[in-house]
Amino acid sequence: MLILGIETSCDETSAAVVSDERKIMSNVLLAQLDPHIQCGGVVPEVAARSHLDSLDSVIRRALAEADVTLNDIDAVAATGGPGLIGGVIVGVTTAKAIALASNIPFIAVNHLAGHALTVRLTDDVAFPYLLLLVSGGHCQLMIVASPLDYRILGETMDDAVGEAFDKIAKLIGLDYPGGPHVEKLAQQGDPSRFPFPRPFFDKKDPEFSCAFSFSGLKTAVRRTLEKLGNLTDKDRADCAASFQYTVGEILKNRVLNGLRKCRDMNVPLTGFVVAGGVAANQYLRQSLEKIVMSQNLKFMAPPLDLCTDNAAMIAWGGIEKMRLRQVDSLSFVPRPRWPLVELGRAPS
């Protein structure tokens, strides 16, 4: 079975062909960086227009690179949300048109499920696993028990991790998207120079043991930079390193608490997975790997190019839904918000 996947929920226009035998036959990605760098962040209207301009040719390239035509495709999957709604509408409408014209099923894939299930495409991981999903819009710790069953142990009360990286980058004077730039700069900095706050560490209430908050950390970085005044290159690098180090300490602590919860609940975890754009950060990957291995658990993370948004993960999400006979009707309505916990409920 071959699935065409389409991803247009943020600023990457992507199309991919993936087989149910876990083979990525193509994964074409067009990052719309230039207009968004100029604005210091993604402008939804600009992103939607850009998806509209390029999606057709990106799909053509994905089919050509896979050496197939639409006649060989068994179903078409598109991100149905959550995301910037203009872009999601472009992807969903295109996928529906292809499904109608080719008389094949249309599948609306939850973008977060796409990130969450990528390790099953790359590593054939069995359920259940503990997942830390860290992207530009989300930060959640959850047990993934099936493609439709996500049990959230904790999530952010304010900013997402990627959002925090992007905001800190802006404060330090780095381009969008900030994550990779902060990571690079942090390599030259002193992570112990600025002791930034770690929210909820002193709270004994189990309700907060897996909760995240990054807005206080962001404010602390901003205040530190304001106090320093004219920043030297060393100030910038130390700030990036101290921020990244603190994020690492927060994530490790929350993951350890999550693993403890899973043990208390007798969840037979097959491993721990970190996914989403921020999972491309090597420092954070290595910190998490150490802590997870110290608990005698398998650590898994998608390869770097499958951590950030791409259509292969959406095609795979479509395959997982097809296997459960969960195809969608052409009246599916694109969703700006679509929490994972709603996936097990009545299909659209």
List contacts with Zn ion (CB under 5 A). 135, 309
Give the separation between CA 145 and CA 127, rounded to whole angstroms.
5
Using the minimum distance from each CB to ligand KG4, give the nearer residue, 73 or 247: 247
**What does the angle CA 28 – CA 95 – CA 126 come to, to the nearest 5 degrees?**
65
* Helix ranges restricted to H, 265-310: 282-293, 304-307
Residues 122-181 interacting with ligand KG4 (rule: CB under 6 A): 135-137, 162-163, 165-166, 177-180
308 binds, among ligand KG4, Zn ion, none (CB under 5 to 8 A by kind): ligand KG4
Residue 113 CB, shortest distance to ligand KG4, in Å, is 12
Q: At closest approach, how far in Å is the CB of 277 from ligand KG4?
A: 2
Q: What's the Cα-to-Cα distance from 246 to each of 83, 206, 212, 253, rounded to whole Å?
A: 28, 21, 12, 11
Instruction: Give the Cβ contact number of residue 302 at 10 Å.
Output: 23
Question: What is the Cα–Cα distance from 286 to 248, expressed in whole angstroms?
Answer: 10
Q: How far is the CB of 282 from ligand KG4 (least distance, A)?
A: 7
Site string for ligand KG4, 294-333 (x = CB under 6 A): --------------xx------------------------
The 10 Å CB-count burial string (b at 16+, else e) for 267-292 is: eebebbbbbbbbbbbebbbebbeebb
Position 5 contacts ligand KG4 (CB under 6 A):
no
Q: Which of 125, 95, 120, 98 is nearest to 109 (CA)?
A: 95
Name the residue nearer to Zn ion (CB basis): 134 or 297. 134
Q: Least separation, in Å, of the C-beta of 310 and ligand KG4?
A: 8
Question: What minimum distance in Å lies between the beta carbon of 115 and Zn ion?
Answer: 6
Output the CA torsion 230→236→239→240 (10° steps). 150
Nearest CB to ligand KG4, comparing residues 176 and 208: 176
CB nearer ligand KG4, residue 91 or residue 162: 162
Return the residue matching tokens 């495409």: 121
| Closest separation in Å from C-beta 112 to Zn ion | 7
CB of 111 to Zn ion, least distance (A): 6
Of 25 and 307, nearer to Zn ion (C-beta) is 307
Residues in the interface with ligand KG4 (CB under 6 A) total 20
- What, of Zn ion, ligand KG4, none, does residue 334 touch, CB below 5 to 8 Å by kind? none
Q: What is the CA radius of gyration of the chain?
A: 20
CB contact set of 10 (below 8 Å; sequence gap of 6+): 42, 47, 83, 84, 87, 136, 137, 309
Q: Which of 84, 141, 143, 183 binds ligand KG4 (CB under 6 A)?
A: 183
Determine, following the binding rule CB under 6 A, whether residue 13 of this chain makes contact with ligand KG4: no
277 lies in the binding site for ligand KG4 (CB under 6 A): yes
333: which 2 tokens? 């309505």
Q: How far is CA 50 from the centre of its chain?
A: 21
Q: How many residues does the chain have?
A: 348
Stretch that binds ligand KG4, among 185-193, 271-279, 318-326, 330-338 (CB under 6 A): 271-279
In this complex, which beta carbon is closest to ligand KG4, that of residue 110 or of residue 135? 135
Angle value at C-alpha 266, between 262 and 270, nearest 5 degrees: 70
The binding site for ligand KG4 (CB under 6 A) comprises: 10, 135-137, 162-163, 165-166, 177-180, 183, 276-278, 280-281, 308-309
